Amino acid sequence: MNVQIVSDKQAGGQAGFRVFEEALQNGAKVLGLATGSTPVTIYEQLAASDLDFSQLTSVNLDEYVGLNADHPQSYHYFMQNHLFNAKPFAHSYVPDGSNLDAAQATQDYDAIIAANPIDLQLLGLGKNGHIGFNEPGTDPESTTHKVALTESTIEANARFFDHADDVPRYAYSMGIGSILQAKQILIVAYGEAKAEAVAAMIQGPVTPDVPASYLQTHPNVTVILDEAAASQLD
């Protein structure tokens, strides 16, 4: 893993932007994207840049089950606001949270991933070591699947909803096996609350208890951390 330690989220956004810029210069055509607060500064840099995504394809990690694309808390809506409105892609794919037929929705998304092999996959890191919505215990060979969100993940997401009861309990998520098929992976984490998960991801054993630890098995991973997130590394 190529670990870069930066001063804050803004510097992390600039460092992440450089990873995207280099990937495009090297011919990347398909970008795997993530949602949440962590990638926002990267998207700000991308949106303000002169990079052209109009011939590229984006494939997102996950989406809440039960939310339509136009729901203000859907990940489709998030991507429109934070990147796609400023930088439209030729094709942008997000799991269809409105499709309650899990077997069909996940099969359809696996077909999209197979048809659009990901050149660079962006990830955030959960406090429990999850990537995407692949919670501890997820099969490392998993493809797109329906996930029952843990209480810690539901609690972390509750700040985005008016009422705790409104937080979706399930999501469709790209699997660990799907993520590891990307040619290059960029994972970003900020804050002391992520420090334990960061140390386990980078220096701990490869174990289903820490889904992000499987990134140790990938040949091309860049990790961007602020000093607080890196504080438990040896």
Active-site residue, selected from the candidate residues 135, 145, 157, 226? 135
Active-site residue, selected from the candidate residues 60, 82, 119, 130? 130
Whether 135 is catalytic: yes
Asked if 76 and 69 count as a contact pair (C-beta separation under 8 A), the reply is yes
Whether 218 is catalytic: no
Whether 139 is catalytic: no
Which is nearest to 126 in space by CA: 85, 155, 83, 97? 155
Q: Which residue has the tokens 């450089």?
A: 18
Active-site residue, selected from the candidate residues 44, 60, 96, 128? 128
Q: Which two three-digit tokens encode residue 114?
A: 């197979």
Phi/psi class of residue 116: alpha, beta or left (left: φ > 0; alpha: ψ in -120 to 50)?
A: beta
Active-site residue, selected from the candidate residues 44, 62, 96, 226? 62
Whether 62 is catalytic: yes
Rounded distance, CA 197 to CA 199, Å?
5
Supply φ then ψ for residue 21, to 5 degrees: -60, -45
Active site residues: 62, 128, 130, 135
